[in-house]
Amino acid sequence: MTTTDIFKTDILKGKVAFVTGGGSGICRGMTEALLTHGASAVITSRSLERLEKAAEEMRKATGGEVLAVAADVRKPDEVEKAVKKAIEKFGKIDILINGAAGNFLAPAELLSYNAFRTVVEIDLLGTFNVSKACFPYLKKSKGSIINVSTTLHYTATLFQVHVSAAKAGIDSMTRLFAVEWGPHGIRVNCLAPGPIADTEGFSRLLPPGGSNEYLQAIPLQRFGKIKDIEHATVFLASEAASYMTGHIMVVDGGECLKKVALLPYPASVLNPKEIMDKLRAKL
């Protein structure tokens, strides 16, 4: 079932979305869903070539207007320039999706200082940078922010200290922005996807051979699809959610309610290098 089977196709007509990480993965799906329902979009990430290819494909698929702008969310000056280009093109920003992220498996003791900092800078600092840069325009449009989080930090997920720390910060930032910016008419919510099968992150983070056990632990007995996140995105961006702010919407089939350890424990923390070598050999 597509979003157009559920929502009116013009439910977001005239809206302009600014999407970080919008050229690939979950955030590309979120962007396409907005375009399908009448919005225009600005997508940004570091690779302009990849963005322009994605933008052209989305134009053909949806008929929507898409602007590709390169920017590193860790660098405020680049973010400010990207937002300026969005305003020059469309004149406003109604919807901000903070989806730029990075992740990989790494035990804390083998995780470099730089690797930890990089993930926190992309995920958490990037969310702040883009939100701050877009704030004046969201204030004018009384717009909406949708941050992209995860469920990893709801329990202690092995080899995910960097992302868990960053995403927990995004959840907290979502609630604080909702309180501070609500009086300006800005809604701030967060989507927390669980295991979404048709993504690069899923294939990289799920240990080889571990999918069957993982699947059995999910109450709805299936892995998520990007379309599941698309449905939630259109809902949160629309007037249907006009009285929702500060909410963390979990889309995981109930997975976080019945968490299982995908890596052998305590072997994985007692001999992390050996476990990582085995994982790399299977990939």
Q: What is the pLDDT of residues 4-40, one digit of tens each?
A: 888 999 999 999 999 999 999 999 999 999 999 999 9
Sheet holding 66-70, edge to edge: 66-70, 40-45, 16-20, 95-98, 144-148, 187-193, 248-251
Can the peptide bond before residue 193 be classed as cis, meaning omega within 30 degrees of 0? no
Q: What CATH superfamily classification does 7-282 receive?
A: NAD(P)-binding Rossmann-like Domain (3.40.50.720)
- In percent, the amount of the chain with pLDDT more than 70 equals 98
Q: What is the mean pLDDT of residues 261-274?
A: 86
Q: Quote the CA–CA distance of 150 and 174 in Å, as a whole number.
A: 13
Q: Lowest-confidence range among 87-91, 119-123, 230-234, 267-271?
A: 267-271
pLDDT(156) > 70: yes
> pLDDT tens across 170-225, in order?
999 999 999 999 999 999 999 999 999 988 777 777 766 667 778 888 999 999 99
Query: Do 61 and 32 touch, CB atoms closer than 8 A?
Result: yes
- What residues have CB less than 8 Å from 48, skipping those under 6 apart? 68, 69, 70
Q: Tokens 């933008």, residue?
A: 55
Q: Where are the alpha helices (DSSP H) in the chain?
A: 25-36, 48-62, 76-90, 113-120, 126-141, 161-181, 200-205, 211-216, 226-237, 267-270, 272-282
pLDDT of res. 66: 98
Task: Taking each helix axis as running N to C, give the angle between helix 226-237 and helix 25-36, from 0 to 180 degrees, rounded to the nearest 10.
Answer: 50
pLDDT of res. 216: 85
**Residue 1 — very low, low, confident or very high, per pLDDT cuts 50/70/90?**
confident
Q: Which residues of 181-194 are buried (b: 16+ CB within 10 A; e: fewer)?
A: beeeebbbbbbbbb
At 151 the three-state DSSP class reads: coil
Query: Do 22 and 50 touch, CB atoms closer than 8 A?
Result: no
Q: Quote the CA–CA distance of 256 and 262 in Å, as a whole number.
A: 13
In the chain, the N- to C-terminal Cα span, in Å, equals 32
Report strand pairing: 95-98 vs 16-20: parallel
Give the residue among 82, 222, 93, 75 at the shortest CA–CA distance from 145: 93
Q: How many helices (H) and strands (E) does the chain have?
A: 11, 7
| 267 vs 46: which has the higher pLDDT | 46
Q: Quote the CA–CA distance of 280 and 92 in Å, as a whole number.
A: 45
Q: Where are the alpha helices (DSSP H) in 18-75?
A: 25-36, 48-62
pLDDT(121) > 80: yes
At 229 the three-state DSSP class reads: helix
Q: Tokens 């600092």, residue?
A: 125
Q: Quote the CA–CA distance of 187 and 243 in Å, as a whole number.
A: 8
